[in-house]
Each structure stands twice: as C-alpha cells, then as structure tokens.
A and B are shown apart, each in its own frame.
Chain A
Amino acid sequence: MEQRILTVEKNERLTADVFRLVLRGDVAAVTTPGQFVNLKIEGLFLRRPISVCDKGDGVITLVFKVVGEGTSRMAEIAPGAEIDVLCGLGNGYSSDRSGDRPLLIGGGVGVPPLFWLCRTLVGEGKRPSVIMGFNTADEIFMEDDFRSLGVPVTVTTADGSRGLRGFATDAMAGMDYTYFYTCGPLPMLRAVDRTAKGDGEFSFEERMGCGFGACMGCTHKTKKGYVRICREGPVLRREDVIW
C-alpha cells in the first residue's frame, strides 16, 4: 500500500448514476486486477473504497455508481482536482488459474473490476468470455470497452429491454469454461455459486473502516478462518467461501 496524491484527469458520466473517474500519478502500488483504492473525499471522515477498473502508464480508471453521500461527492469532482488515495489495496484476482477459456460474470457496478482482468487475460493469450448483467437497457455501461478487447460479450437485462432477458447467471447455462471470475451484488454471487461449474473466484463488497487491515471492520468467515475483505480479500476462491 502507498499513499499518493493523484490528479483527476477525467470524470465522466456513463449512465444516469455511473461515472468513470480517471486518476493520474504514481500508481505503481496498484499491481493486480481486482485490487481497490481508498479515496479521501473532502468533507467526509472515512475514505471510500473503489475497485480499480483499469490501469495504464501512470493512470488508473475507477468506475463507480452513485449510491450514497461519498459517491455523490465523487461524481462532482472536477478535472484538475487532487485526491489523496491509498493505492494497491486487497489481493486481486489470480489470472494464472484461469485455464484457456475463463468466464467473467459481472453484475451492475460489479462489471468494472473485470475489465482490467479481461484485458490481462487476453494479453496472456487466453480466450475469456464475458457476461454482463444489468437491470435495464439504460443502465448498461462498458459494453463497447469489453467488445473492443475482441472477446465474446453476452449482455443480460432483468426486464429484457436489451440482450438476453434475465439475470447474468441465466446466460451461464450451456457455456463451457475452464474457470470463472465474478463480481457483483451478493444475491448474484450466490446465484453464480449455485450455477457455476468448477473452480472460480468471487470478489466481495463490504463496508470498510480503514481498507488496509487495521480495524477488523470487514471480516467474513471462510473455510480458511476469518478473513478481512480489505486485506485477504476482496477476492476469495470458491473453495474457501462459506455462503
């Protein structure tokens, strides 16, 4: 973990309540897809943990949904602003376990952290497939980003307004894959666990105090004992998860 002051390069709206925040600076501590950063937001006491959507040369992209006061304020941060960011938190996904044809399943604002993972897997010569689940067509974001990686993308909407009608897990039936990676709301993660074949990894969300392992605010019980979602997580292997 490193504490860095990053400069906002871009903060753009992707849907009614989803934003893409691009931060420039020393982000060397961010090493692995699935990791998160913890942002100090003016006027709020606790930092806000957000998954890294993508990383480039001296730049990280965060895609977040406005759900409360912290993310509301984040949506208003203007380009040029400086943000105090704890970089490189959490374990991230293990791309080395993927096999040749991994499946990535994202739901809503759980989709973004899968992007860097997908790009990494493609770069390693693997052939990932992606399922993106949303409630309705208006809420879809990042579909083109994933398609630009040249991977098969299946979009589902709960109301059938775009793509396959149903949940992300409904698209898993009949798919053949060597491993899976998923991120999304807890009911979706549970559904993935009921549906998926073989090994895989789940990224969990939890309210955090510190984000770096000090406060024990985000502990989950697993088959390997108690883990801090911020430190030993947020990504847990399927074999370790207790549902």
Chain B
Amino acid sequence: MVKTAVDLCGISLDNPVIPASGTFGFGYEFAELYDINCLGTISIKGTTVEERFGNPTPRIAETPSGMLNAVGLQNPGVDRVISEELPRLAKVFSKPVMANVSGFSVSDFAAACERLDGVEQIGWIEVNISCPNVHGGGMAFGTTPGGASEVTGAVRRVTKKPLIVKLSPNVTDVAEIARAAEAAGADGVSLINTLLGMRIDLRERKPLLANRTGGLSGPAVRPVAVRMVCEVYDAVKIPVVGMGGIVSAEDVIEFMLAGASAVEVGAANLTDPFTCRDIVRDLPRAMEKYGIDDLADIIGGAH
C-alpha cells in the first residue's frame, strides 16, 4: 500500500492533487460529477475585494497543446465568496480549502486576506501576484522582488493562515522573486501562473482575444514549469506547489521530483472535468511503476 499523503505548510493533504484556481469554479459544479472529497484540496476561483466582471469576450483561444485565457478575475467579491460560495462548497467538500486572492493595490490584497482570515473553512491563502490578465494589478506585483515583498508583507500582517504566494513565469529570474516572498513571510510558493501570450485572427487581422493578450496554460507550458519549480526549490526552504500543464499521475511525479510538495491541475479540468479524480485514482499505480512507496520521499528527488 503506497502512501500518497503530503504535508503542505503544516496541513496534511491525503494526496498532492489540487485543482488550480480559475479552472474549478468554487468546486460545487464538479461535485455534480464526482465526490470531490477525493482531492487533496481545492484552490477556489480568484477573489478580489470588490465584485469583478472581468474582461470582454472572447476570453478563450485554442493554442498548440494548450489554451490562452483572459478571463480577468471575474468573481463576486470576497464578501459574497464568504457568505455564498464557501457555504455552498462546504456542503460537498469537507476538507480545508485554499482561497486565492488578487488585487489592484497592496491594500486590496490585505483587505481581502483579512476577511478570509476569520473563515475556518480556509486552510491556506494563495496570494496571486501573477495574474497576467488584469491591468494595474495582479502580475505587476509579481514581476519585481520589491513588489512581491510588499504584497507578501502586507498580507502576512493580517493573517496567521499559511500564505502561499503564486508566482509569475513572466520574469527573468523566478528564484529571486521566490526568495523575496519567503523573506517577507510567505509559508510557501506556487508556480507557475500562465505565460503571457497572443494569437492573431488571420481573417480579421487582429488578436483573437478581446484583451489582446492572455495567459498560456496546458501541456505546452509543462517543461517551462518543471524547470522553474526546480529553480525555486533550490532557492527557498518553504514548500513549493508546482503546476503547469499537468494531465496525468506521471506529470505529478515529475513535478514532485523537481521539488513540488503538492501540485495544482489547471487547464486539464476544462477539457476533461474528471481529470483530477482520474489522477488521484492513477497515482498509486504510477507510484508502484516507478518504485515509490511514499510520495513525500520523492520531493526534490531530481536534485
């Protein structure tokens, strides 16, 4: 009997599989399809202080082995997430939940985190300083060590919950951003958010997405993500949550060997809503195949 449980910032996960924010809504849609308690946890849809509509459509485009999205953090605002979405999720998911927070100013981030701090259902807060699809916020904080440090420090002051800072791949040196987040009080980092991309409609001669640019995700980005997880694992002592194009149990093992303590599965949820369930189901068989008794033993095993 193999052991799939891992520790993430002091909270045990039955397995390292976490649906990534923005690809799983607030979870309950998927609970109509299968028992989502099989998941390690869920990173819920990115939340801001105020309600947001997001970007105009089209927000989605196909790419080779992946997709572009420019949803732009559509969400009902932190108060309704707490009063409506989380109670609805609690009916179908009994484990601690990972909240995902974004903002347009340091005080936005802090205000949203402060409200979530009092919610028992929340196990971790993932601080998204890397959304490429909003202007004047999101990724603007995640592309400099100073910005990452400022946001991390501000949210650190308002919550005792484990803070996981979500990093952007759209930087020259992801390791220095990770170190800045760690120094400012992050309990973990997660990466990668999407890579900034663009597609152009040949007939219209203009970008396919109304936002012009969008974030690339899916298997196309996986080798980039594995490399960055590997670099960050070397740079910090806090746990790393790896993500980028994961579609199978083998991909989970690859990310853990690179240094991930847990993983998030994103775009694959959109093409096959059963992906996370299937990865959890397939993990023991894949572990046996590669001679792994305890998943926790292989974290950073490729270093």
**Which residues of A come within 8 Å of B, CB atoms?**
1, 3, 40, 44-47, 69-70, 84, 86, 206-210, 212-221, 226
Contact = CB atoms under 8 A, between A and B. Distances in A.
Could you say which of B30, B32, B60, B274 has the most chain A C-beta atoms within 10 Å of its C-beta?
Answer: B60
A3 B271 CA distance: 11
Given A45-B66, A217-B71, A210 B57 contact: no
A47 B25 contact: no
Contacts of A45: 62-67, 218-219, 267, 271
Interface string B1-45: 000000000000000000000111100011011000000000001
A208 B271 CA distance: 11
Given A46-B271, A219-B74, A207 B58 contact: yes
Given A1-B33, A69-B62, A215 B270 contact: yes
Nearest to B19: A214
Given A45-B67, A208-B60, A221 B53 contact: yes
A218 B32 contact: no
A128 to B, nearest CB: 31
Contacts of A220: 57
Interface residues of B, number: 34
6 contacts: A45-B65, A45-B218, A46-B60, A210-B23, A214-B29, A215-B22
B67 A209 contact: yes
Interface of B: 22-25, 29-30, 32-33, 45, 53-54, 57-67, 69, 71, 74, 218-219, 267, 269-274
* Chain A interface, >50% SS class: loop
Contact of B74 (A44, A86, A213, A216): A216
B59 A207 contact: yes
A145 B219 CA distance: 43
B54 A219 contact: yes
A98 to B, nearest CB: 29
Given A45-B67, A218-B57, A210 B270 contact: yes
A127 B74 CA distance: 42
A209 to B, nearest CB: 4
B71 A215 contact: yes
A48 to B, nearest CB: 9
Given A40-B271, A208-B60, A219-B53, A214 B24 contact: yes
B53 A212 contact: no
Contacts of B54: 216, 219
Q: Lowest 10 A-B CB distances belong to which pairs?
A: A210-B270, A217-B60, A207-B58, A209-B60, A216-B74, A209-B270, A214-B25, A217-B59, A46-B62, A213-B29
Contacts of A40: 271-272
Nearest to A226: B53
A207 B25 contact: no
A217 B25 contact: no
A38 to B, nearest CB: 9
B30 A219 contact: no
B273 A214 contact: yes
A206 B22 CA distance: 18
A85 B154 CA distance: 46
Contact of B23 (A1, A86, A208, A214): A214
Nearest to A220: B57
Given A219-B74, A220-B57, A212 B66 contact: no
Given A3-B274, A210-B269, A215 B57 contact: no
Given A45-B63, A210-B270, A216 B58 contact: no
Contacts of B23: 210, 214-215
A206 B63 CA distance: 17
Contacts of B274: 3
A213 B25 contact: yes
A47 B269 contact: no
A84 to B, nearest CB: 8
